[in-house]
Amino acid sequence: MRRYDAIVVGAGHNGLTTAYYLARAGQDTLVLDRRDVVGGCAVTEEIDPENAPGCRVSTASYMASMLRPEVIRDMDLGRHGLKMIAADPGLQIALPEGRVLPWWSDDRKTHQELARFSRRDADSFFQLDEELKTLARFLQPFFLEPPPRTGATGLAGFLEMLRVGRRFRGLKGKQISELITFLTGSLEQFLDRYFESEEVKRLMLANNLYGKHGGPRDPGSAMGLLFHLLSGGEDEKQGFSGHVIGGMGAITQAMAAACAEAGVEIRTGLEVSRIESQDGKARGVTLTGGEFIECGLAVSNADPKRTFLNLVEADQLDGHFLQQVQAIHMDGPAAKVNLVLNEEPRVNGMPADAPALQKMLFTLVPTFDQAQRSYNAAQLGQLEPELWVDCVLASAVDPGLVTPGRHVLTTFIQYLPYQPADGGWDQHRDWLGDRVVEIIGRYAPNVPGAIVGRDVITPLDLERRFGITEGNIFHGDIRMDQLFFNRPLPGWAHYRTPIEGLYLCGAGTHPGGGVTGAPGYNAAHAILKDQK
């Protein structure tokens, strides 16, 4: 077995991004993945091959929002087959009593929709949207650069202070106050300052960060509004959200093609059991079958807990460091339920002549009371019946995903406990699937009788199937003490690890989760900088 300059563990989108940049710089690079398919959580797979063969869906990650334009351009993903259609409306909630509230790209249309509930809120909505976009623009540059180096001293510390300070040049006093409120305050308190209508508030609630811990009344829960207004897509549009033709797997397939063109070798169906190190320096990986592959450096796209607690021998790491890793908050609060239908959902209140893009997505967002109660129950390991269900009918705009007469509906669910207090998820899987179908049926009564295939992916299944510890889709919760210079740990926020030649490139590093490519981009550039 020949020696590689670099081995990347995990063929998710960040691992592929890292591998591409390393190979482009002349590194002989190998990517290994335990699954038989490239893509990590960004994959397109059959839902139920037995009952609905040929019907595919984005199994885990399901919408493209913040994929970095730099990554799209550098990897030339369009030439390799990537095509995204901007969602319009970018968000739409279905409400009781047969009403829907869409957020269109056309401000005039959105104003008309909001004014049905409150003319004052319709006017405030766009003022707030512009204020939030302004704040997001100040945070945007941090996405594709390392987080602040809080430990830098002397001249290095002074230069680091200048670098960070320059990013906030022009930030006004009121904006500083708003930013602090966002990072520390609750979403409900923030929205109460702007809106009177419960419906408009619920539209904003539905635009909050999915998969994150914290109910809408918890401190720091307003943070998600800013994340959704970061830019993405080839045109670098703020708040971009789009459907990928061919499903999310089309992103990673395009990345794999770009990697192959750059000379990366990708091998699937091979699980790394251990990242080998000697005298504090990485020297290769061992596969589950016992095969050893030597390398100059190793890059883990796995989450920090899986990397340091499972893949690296404990005696190679300091005890205090391991204790910090064990304390990273994961406890994934989300699940997926994917359905194959023999007819399109008929959502109450949806216009009969609604365009395909409008029919494609609808969120069944609970009230603030229900959302907070659901989150609190999940923290106690309880299964709260009133769940948050986000629905995407991908086949409405991408019929190539299905066979004739079929439709695929993917749903994202929160809040759920990673470990139910009463039994395990294998015992409660059917309850979850049935409950989600019942909730959808309240808003689209034809759906329960139209199901021909179903795939329920619990938080535990996210861990088992995709290898993410505790089923956390962000590789560690998105919260202030686990962001920027604290991600994944204070003192280790620059993709390097205590083992020389071992780097991290996954969502557990800065700037965090989502299909962005930013952690992979930043990690590759940190590696290449070290090699210089």
- pLDDT one-digit tens code per residue, 262-293: 999 999 999 999 999 999 999 999 999 999 99
**Domain final residue, candidates 174, 209, 240:** 240
Pairing of strands 388-392, 407-414: antiparallel
Q: Residue 469: pLDDT above 80?
A: yes
CA 217 to chain centre: 22
Q: Mean of the per-residue pLDDT values for the chain? A: 93
In a domain, 282, yes or no: yes
- pLDDT of 33 reads 98
In a domain, 47, yes or no: no
- The predicted-structure confidence for 226-256, as pLDDT tens digits, reads as follows 777 777 778 778 888 899 999 999 999 999 9
Distance CA 350, CA 443 (A): 10
Domain residues for the domain of 224 are: 122-240
- pLDDT of 163 reads 64
Q: Are residues 254 and 236 in the same domain?
A: no
Distance CA 195, CA 397 (A): 33
Distance CA 298, CA 9 (A): 8
In a domain, 181, yes or no: yes
- The predicted-structure confidence for 152-176, as pLDDT tens digits, reads as follows 667 666 666 666 666 666 666 677 7
Q: Are residues 232 and 262 in the same domain?
A: no
- pLDDT of 158 reads 61
**pLDDT-derived band at 337, boundaries 50, 70, 90:** very high
**Domain final residue, candidates 240, 260, 285:** 240
**Domain final residue, candidates 240, 266, 286:** 240
Both tokens assigned to 489: 């740990």
Q: Are residues 270 and 161 in the same domain?
A: no
416 vs 66, residue with greater confidence: 416
Q: What is the mean pLDDT of residues 126-140?
A: 85
Q: Are residues 218 and 255 in the same domain?
A: no
- pLDDT of 439 reads 98
3-state SS, 493-511, equals CCCECCCECEEECCCCCCC
In a domain, 20, yes or no: yes
Both tokens assigned to 310: 């499972």
- pLDDT of 142 reads 79
Contact 315, 432 (CB under 8 A): no
Look up the pTM and report it.
0.95
137 vs 171, residue with greater confidence: 137
Task: For residue 169, report the phi and psi dihedrals to the nearest 5 degrees.
Answer: -65, 130
Q: Are residues 235 and 264 in the same domain?
A: no
Q: Residue 303: pLDDT above 70?
A: yes
Q: Are residues 228 and 273 in the same domain?
A: no
Least confident of 135-144, 396-405, 477-486: 135-144
Q: Residue 327: pLDDT above 70?
A: yes
In a domain, 32, yes or no: yes
Name the percent of the chain in helix, strand, coil, to the closest 5.
40, 20, 40
Q: Are residues 159 and 219 in the same domain?
A: yes
Q: What is the mean pLDDT of residues 520-529?
A: 97
Pairing of strands 4-9, 292-300: parallel
Task: Determine whether 57 is exposed, middle or buried from the number of CB atoms within 10 Å of its CB (0-12, 13-18, 19+).
Answer: buried
**pLDDT-derived band at 147, boundaries 50, 70, 90:** confident
Task: Determine whether 342 is exposed, middle or buried from the number of CB atoms within 10 Å of its CB (0-12, 13-18, 19+).
Answer: middle
In a domain, 419, yes or no: no
Q: What is the mean pLDDT of residues 118-123?
A: 96
| Distances in whole angstroms, Cα of residue 198 to Cα of each of 7, 126, 202, 393 | 51, 17, 6, 26
CATH of the domain at 289: 3.50.50.60
Q: Are residues 256 and 323 in the same domain?
A: yes
- pLDDT of 152 reads 61
Q: Are residues 162 and 266 in the same domain?
A: no
Distance CA 365, CA 188 (A): 14
- The predicted-structure confidence for 479-508, as pLDDT tens digits, reads as follows 888 988 899 999 999 999 999 999 999 999
Contact 211, 475 (CB under 8 A): no
DSSP state of 41: T
Percent of the residues in the chain that have a pLDDT greater than 70, as a whole number = 95
- pLDDT of 12 reads 98
- pLDDT of 320 reads 95
- pLDDT of 162 reads 66
532 vs 463, residue with greater confidence: 463
Q: Are residues 230 and 311 in the same domain?
A: no
Q: Based on the structure, what is the number of domains in the chain?
A: 2
Q: Are residues 132 and 234 in the same domain?
A: yes
- On the CB side of 235, CA atoms within 13 Å amount to 10
Q: Are residues 135 and 216 in the same domain?
A: yes
**In sequence order, what are the residues at sequence separation of 6 or more whose Cβ sits closer than 8 angstroms to the Cβ of residue 327?**
none
**In sequence order, what are the residues at sequence separation of 6 or more whose Cβ sits closer than 8 angstroms to the Cβ of residue 308?**
317, 321, 322, 325, 497
- pLDDT of 239 reads 80
In a domain, 417, yes or no: no
